[in-house]
Structures are given as C-alpha cells and as structure tokens.
Amino acid sequence: MHFAFTDEQAMIAETAKAFFAEQATSERTRAAMAGTGADEALWRAFTAELGLAGVAIPEAEGGVGLGMVELAILAEAAGRHVAALPLLASVGLAIPAILAGGSSEQKARLLPRLAAGELVASFAEAAPGTTSSDGTLTGAALHVPHGARADLFIVAVEGGAVIVERDAPGLTITPRTSMDQTRPYARLDFGGVAAEPLADPAAALAAAHATGALAIAADALGGAQACLDHTVAYAKERIQFGRAIGSFQAIKHRLADMMVAVEQARSALYWAACAIDEGSEEAAFAVHAAKAFACDTYSLCAGEMIQLHGGIGFTWEHDAHLYFKRARSNANLLGTPDWHRERIAALAGLDQAA
C-alpha cells in the first residue's frame, strides 16, 4: 500500500505544525503546568483561529467534516510540543462518543458548541459499584483527563453511557496530582447527580475507545519524533573528546534505532486512521497495533533522549522530562501496549492456538 497525504491534508499538517511551534512553547506549557494544566489562550487559538476542534464532526452538525487522518495530523502536531490542551479529552474521546451515540437532539445541542470551543468535554470510566437509574448517577470516576477543566462529561457506566453537566447538583470534582502535569486528572463523585442517557451507548463507547486510542497514538508519534529531533540536534552540538558525540558509532546506532521505530510507528498510525475512515474490517486490529507500537516507540525515544543528553537530560529545567512523563501517561491510558497486543492476538485467533 502506498500512502501519501492529499494536498488538503498536507496543508493542514503544515498549518498545525507552524501553529504549535509558534504557540505551544516550553514557557507556556510550564506556565500551564503550574496552574490548571490547560493553556487557555492556546485552546482559544486552536478552536477559533484554526477552527479544528470539530475536525471530525460533519459540517451539518457544526464541524469541519474531515476524518481520522486529519485528527491524527492535529494530535501528532500537538504531541510534538507536549501541548497543554484538552485535545484528547474533548476531541479524541467525548466528541466521538456523542457523534456516534448521541440522539439527534443531543448532537444538535452539543456538537456545534464543542466544535467552536465554547464547551470542553471529557470522558470518564465509572468506578466499580457506580449505578445509573431513573436519570441519576451514583458513584465515582477516578481518573478523568482534564476533568477539572471540562464543562460536561460522557460517563461510561455498566449498562450504558450518560451525559453529566459540570454544574449538576450532586457532582463533586476533585483535581488529582498526576505525573504528567500537561494532562491532569480529576476524580468525579456522583451523589445522585442528574444523568442524561445517550441514545446508543454501545456505539458511543466503541467510538470513544477507538478514536481515543488513535489520538493517543498520534500524540505519541509526535512526541517520539520530537525526542529524536532534539536528540539529533544535541548530538551534533555536544563536543566530547574533541568531536561531536553524534560522530561516535554507538550514538549513531542508537539514533538510527530511534528513527526506524518512529517511521514504523508512523506507518502503523496512518494505517489505522485510514482503516477507520474507510470502514475497513482491519480497523480494530490497526488501532490496537498503532496504540501499542506508537506508545512503545515514545517510551523508547523519551528514554534515549534523557540518556543521550547526559546529565542535563535529568534536570527539571530541560524539556526531556516533559516528553518522558507524557510518554508514560500515553502508555497507560486506554490500555497498556501489552493489553493492546493481547487484543491483537485475540483478533488474530492466536489466543486459541495453544
């Protein structure tokens, strides 16, 4: 298979790359980390100037009407700079759930406002013991990405999925300390809170998990590419024993291994994005592969970035730790790489081979 971006996709990629390079600076990211974990000015610019928060929402429902390839392009560009945005929570998880499982009224009411950035949504997996009955929700959700920033939540609960508004009586939101401060988590406690059921919860959850995994894989690819780029640049500048360290064969081999892994992850990611857009039977297999491969690649490259930068790579002042923490966050959210490989084995029938 030969894959190449269309002219429109290439233009989106260049626009997104320039946008995040200019606005998602290390200084702004660190400022967001010291606050709520979200760069509000960056989010406003992303939703208003680029107008791509509704990238995969049909035009008739207030969006741009593009697809998963374009969403992957945006998430990759954001991940390259560890952008402190609720991109995964709102665009990667909640919007696909509403789009796939919401009623006509729910989509008409929420999607245009989400596409415009007027609302930020997140997705929550309810903790065991959480119950939903008679339009109310009782229980908790423990690790909700950008939960303290979100205006509404799509909550997956046993037997369904519901919408919970931030200002609903009975909802308590508690910010949690997270390793990756660019993607903070919150705990939600539901004290008999009003909950609006989605029309098709099964479709909503399937879409959220597939698109969310794809968005994480794209973020991981962008981060891994950035780790490689920063490390190559450093290897050309750092002089040791009278030579740039990049001239040493051992360093060259490690950088080459990083590059090969990044290119393989890129192929896996855009295969998955195309498979979803085309409704391919391989879509589920491809998404699991992309999530596992891209997250493993990010962990590899982030670790190598720290190692090859030497002592400076371990310091708080260096951005290497931002990438390392995001890599760890990506690897554990929506299933670890090993979990996704188990799903691949099941889809291929290998779990029954013995």
* pLDDT digits 0-9 by tens, 239-249: 788 787 777 88
The pLDDT tens digits of the residues spanning 26-41 come to: 999 999 998 888 999 9
Give the least confident one: 126-135, 182-191, 241-250: 241-250
Could you give the CA distance from residue 188 to residue 166 in angstroms, rounded to a whole number? 10
Find out whether 61 and 210 touch, Cβ atoms under 8 Å: no
Q: How many domains does the chain have?
A: 1
Domain that holds residue 334: 202-352
pLDDT of residue 177: 86
Mean pLDDT of 300-309: 94
Residue 276 has pLDDT above 70, yes or no: yes
Could you give the CA distance from residue 94 to residue 88 in angstroms, rounded to a whole number? 9
- Domain membership of residue 31 (yes or no) is no
3-class secondary structure, 193:
strand
- Domain membership of residue 72 (yes or no) is no
Helix, strand, coil % over all residues of the chain, rounded to 5: 60, 15, 25
What is the amino acid identity at position 12? I
The pLDDT tens digits of the residues spanning 153-170 come to: 999 999 899 999 999 999
- Domain membership of residue 28 (yes or no) is no
Find out whether 286 and 268 touch, Cβ atoms under 8 Å: yes
Contacts of residue 295, defined as CB under 8 A and 6 or more positions apart, other chains included, come to 216, 217, 220, 327, 330, 331, 336, 337
- Domain membership of residue 251 (yes or no) is yes
- Domain membership of residue 235 (yes or no) is yes
- Domain membership of residue 35 (yes or no) is no
What is the amino acid identity at position 340? H
Burial of 159 (0-12, 13-18, 19+ CB in 10 A): exposed
pLDDT of residue 57: 94
- Domain membership of residue 261 (yes or no) is yes
- Domain membership of residue 304 (yes or no) is yes
Higher pLDDT, 351 or 46: 46
Find out whether 150 and 204 touch, Cβ atoms under 8 Å: no
CATH, residue 260:
1.20.140.10
Could you give the CA distance from residue 78 to residue 234 in angstroms, rounded to a whole number? 22
